[in-house]
Amino acid sequence: MTDIQTWTLVFTALSFGVYIYIAYASRVNSTSGFYVAGGGIPAPANGAAIAADWMSAASFISMAGIIGLAGNGYGGSVYLMGWTGGYVLLALLLAPYLRKFGKYTIPDFVGDRYSESARLIAVLCAVVVSFVYVAGQMAGVGLVFTRFLGVDTTVGVVIGMAIVFFYAVLGGMKGITWTQVAQYTVLIIAYLIPAFAVSAKVTGVAVPQIGFGTILDELNGLQADLGLGEYTAAFGSTNMLNMLLITAALMFGTAGLPHVIVRFYTAKSVRAARFSALWALFFISLLYTTAPSVAAFSKLQIINDVEGTAVSDVPSWFTTWAEVGLITQAPSEPGAVGAPISELAPDTVLRYTDIFVNNDIIVLASPEIGGLPAPIVGLVAAGGLAAALSTASGLLLVISSSVANDVYYKRINPQATEARQLMVGRIAMGGAIVVAGYLGINPPGFVAQVVALAFGLAAASFFPILVLGIFWKNCTAAGATAGMSAGLITTMAYMLWTIDIYGNSDGIFGIAETGFGTVGMIINFIVTITVSKFTTKPSPVMQELVEEIRFPGRTELVAKHAEGQV
């Protein structure tokens, strides 16, 4: 076992031990504790949990790689703008009002605000979005285990499944929340330490947000020499239309993600929900302002290490990642798999443009690329696992609560006891984990691409009917049902079509599958508003309730609704 594997095993075992202990100490025996942690989580802790829930394997593992490699700098900024902007949108437009409405899940809000038929469509949307999203998380788990512990991807995913099963099934939302606080601590330390160390080594400035600006001219020059275009040039890897659509899909998708929205129900009050959002933005900013520097430092070092170097003389980090198939020869056509580096003769001189570096390795490999010691590499691996597992647990709880609360309890057996509801929820959680594991072993793309598809689906299905449900009292059940169905079906169909023919077609007007969620959202808005104009309006009581949840204070009608009297 190498030093890196040893330290990875140490940090992974320690962090997993902490997660299991927290889950055991936070175990619950009530539906309120299982679904929303009893609504008693303090704002700072809730903010950290929200940040961990939201900053998934895509943020930790893939985002810097997309900025530095796939997006060639500027193009990858859609993820920074979309994900952070979407969170502001969520905090301002949705979170406080949904918390005041007082329901456990998005389907619960949809069912109460609109109708039971709309609830079932919302359950379907929540399950589809969550499974697509969780596929990326479990793929990230497998990636970390494969590279740093030398185990098969399947084995790594199964280990991750077992850990999530224990703390999610035992502790529900309460266990998940406090586990995510610990996971945020691990992932942010693991992300920042190598970033600060590499910045100090490369630029002499220890603060990466400042240091990376000093190397951009050098990086631009290197890329120009390679015929790649300047790193900071606009629209180098994507056009203006896709920049706009992808950013919007990520932004509105963030505001419609069910596993993030449910977090605001765990706050003690509406005021605490607002402060939870403030804390979460602070915790998120620590990673998101650092990612561009990690991308720039890593790409600069990769070009310097690879360009003009013989295969026999490449650095050890290059050989290690090539052995697990994440660095290959450049593929002959888009979407194809490149040949292994091992097929090249030892005296072959490499060019950067002749190799393919997987987006998902940039952050995980950055300590090795920067020449940092093995303990730091092991810490980063533990951070990647923390990011993936924290989000996976939140997504699995959405699936579990949708099945147990919105289907079983609300539709099949309204007389079910709390014990029976908990049992059904835990069984649903177990089944969801098995499906998530399969998707992690057989993902339809690299981590951030898969996650981006989930955001597009959330934008096309949930965002319009949530916004209209809060701000337009005349939005009807028929309109919401038709809008969600139209948005989800058109977006899913386009994504499946373009992914299937990826590399052979540009789709409709060249719109990328990761940006089509914006089009689906517009379709949803148009269908919902049009159908609502010609169908039966909500009851006077519901219209009055919709008006009152937007105003400060807890009115009598809102209080009665929260207690189930309306």
Cα end-to-end span (Å), the chain: 63
Cβ-contact 60, 453 below 8 angstroms: no
pLDDT, tens only, 220-256: 888 888 888 788 877 766 788 888 898 999 899 888 8
Please list the residues that pair with 389 across neighbouring strands.
Answer: none
pLDDT, averaged across the chain: 81
The whole-number average pLDDT for the span 81-85 is 82
Please give the pLDDT value at position 467.
93
Average pLDDT of the residues in 86-112 = 79
Distances (CA, A) of 428 to 104, 125, 179: 16, 16, 20
Q: What is the pLDDT of residue 502?
A: 41
The predicted structure's pLDDT at residue 334? 62
For residue 49, which amino acid is it? A
From the centroid of its chain, how far is CA 552? 31
pLDDT for residue 99 is more than 70:
yes
Confidence label for 483 from pLDDT (cuts 50, 70 and 90): very high
The tens digit of pLDDT for each residue in 140-190 reads: 787 777 777 777 888 888 888 887 777 667 667 777 788 888 888 988 998
- Is 538 in a helix, a strand, or coil? coil
Nearest to 55 by CA among 283, 285, 381, 387: 387
The whole-number pLDDT of residue 62 equals 76
Listed range (348-352, 442-446, 528-532) with the worst mean pLDDT: 442-446
Distance CA(505)–CA(45), nearest Å, equals 46
Rounded to a whole number of angstroms, the CA Rg of the chain reads 23
Distances in whole angstroms, Cα of residue 167 to Cα of each of 51, 420, 429: 19, 19, 11
pLDDT exceeding 90 applies to what percent of the chain? Answer: 10
pLDDT tens digits, residue range 456-469? 888 999 999 999 99
Q: Which two tokens stand for residue 339?
A: 């040949």
- Cα 304 to Cα 346: distance, rounded to the nearest angstrom: 19
Mean pLDDT (whole number) for 537-555: 80
Phi, psi of 310 (to 5 degrees): -70, 150
Average pLDDT over residues 258-266: 76
Of 2, 123, 78, nearest to 409 (Cα)? 123
- In 9-130, beta strands by DSSP E: none
Q: Give mean pLDDT, residues 102-107.
A: 73
**416 pLDDT above the threshold of 70:** yes
Q: Give how far Cα 506 sits from Cα of 112, 294, 498, Å.
A: 41, 31, 8
Residue 552: pLDDT band with limits 50, 70, 90: low
pLDDT at residue 204, rounded to an integer: 83
Of 556, 528, 557, 525, residue with least CA distance to 542: 557
Residue 98 has pLDDT above 70, yes or no: yes
pLDDT at residue number 104? 61
- Altogether, the residues listed in the chain come to a count of 566
Tens-place pLDDT, residues 182-220: 888 988 998 898 888 888 888 888 888 888 888 888 888
Torsion-angle region of 28 (φ positive above 0: left; ψ -120 to 50: alpha; else: beta): beta
Distance between CA 42 and CA 376 in Å, rounded? 32
Please state, in angstroms and as integers, the Cα–Cα distance from residue 104 to each residue in 135, 488, 548, following that order. Answer: 24, 22, 19
3-state class (DSSP) for residue 505: strand
Q: Is 340 helix (H, G, I), strand (E, B) or coil?
A: strand
Compute the average pLDDT of residues 40-53: 83
Q: Please tell me the predicted confidence (pLDDT) of residue 444.
A: 58
Torsion over CA of 229, 320, 188 and 432, rounded to 10 degrees?
A: 100
The answer to whether 420 touches 448, Cβ cutoff 8 Å, is: no
What residue type is 81 in one-letter code?
Answer: M
**Model-wide pTM > 0.85:** no
Instruction: Report pLDDT digits (tens) over 280-322.
Output: 888 988 988 898 888 888 888 888 888 889 988 988 888 888 8
**Residue carrying the six token digits 């190799």:** 355
- Rounded to the nearest 5 degrees, what angle is found at the Cα of 457, between the Cα atoms of 455 and 463? 80
* CA gap 66, 60 in Å, rounded: 11
Domains along the sequence of the chain with CATH? 3-297+371-461 (1.20.1730.10), 540-566 (no CATH)
Q: Please tell me the distance from the alpha carbon of residue 182 to that of residue 167, in angstroms, as a whole number.
A: 13
Residue-wise pLDDT tens digits, 6-23: 888 888 888 888 888 887
The 3-class SS string of 229-246 reads: CCCCCCCCCCCHHHHHHH
Residue 564 φ/ψ region, left for φ over 0, alpha for ψ in the -120 to 50 degree band, beta for the rest: left
The answer, yes or no, to whether residue 561 has pLDDT greater than 70, is no
